Amino acid sequence: MKTHHPKLTDFQGKRAWHLIDAEGQVLGNLAVEAAVILRGKNKPEWHPSLDCGDNIIVINAEKIVLTGQKEAQKEYFRHSGYPGALKRTTAGKMRKEHPERIIEKAVAGMIPRNRLKKIILGKLHVYAGAEHPHAGQNPKPLTLK
């Protein structure tokens, strides 16, 4: 019995678009589901060396739920590379300034750090409000478990 190895051309015209409403959803649960769909692990023909996932649109990112004291205690870090240039931002401040980055960073942490990461994250589209410019792709609403 031979092992079937899928080709990238098998997925080119078959990428679906999914719409996730983040209102009232817990951040970790939403990020796990989004990462699985973006990588394509929900498909029977998934292979770790190929980008076989679908596109995801997340709306209402500003209404995501952070459990416990994460709103005040969770910190996001960035560094310019210069000595003493470490910047810290709490989740509460990030929600006010850039609410879509909270979801982007959570999903990015669940994607393997390899050559496909940038390509996979390019299929994630996050918007703070309920409006999005991808109506032409006819996204299917996705309910999370």
Residue 27 is assigned to a structural domain of this protein:
yes
Alpha carbon distance 82, 78 (integer Å):
11
pLDDT for the residue 33: 97
Alpha carbon distance 77, 131 (integer Å):
29
Residue showing tokens 């390509």: 119
Domain residue limits at 61: 15-67+97-132+136-140
Query: Is pLDDT of 13 > 80?
Result: no
**Domains contained in the chain, number:** 1
Residue 49 is assigned to a structural domain of this protein:
yes
Query: Is pLDDT of 31 > 90?
Result: yes
Residue 88 is assigned to a structural domain of this protein:
no
Tens-digit pLDDT profile for residues 35-74 = 999 999 999 888 899 999 999 999 999 999 999 999 999 9
Residue 30 is assigned to a structural domain of this protein:
yes
Residue 122 is assigned to a structural domain of this protein:
yes
Tens-digit pLDDT profile for residues 111-127 = 999 999 999 999 999 99
pLDDT for the residue 145: 76
Residue 79 is assigned to a structural domain of this protein:
no
pLDDT for the residue 72: 95
Residue 85 is assigned to a structural domain of this protein:
no
Alpha carbon distance 73, 69 (integer Å):
6
pLDDT for the residue 75: 97
Count CB atoms within 10 A of the CB of residue 34.
27
CATH number at residue 106: 3.90.1180.10
**Mean pLDDT (whole number) for 125-142:** 96
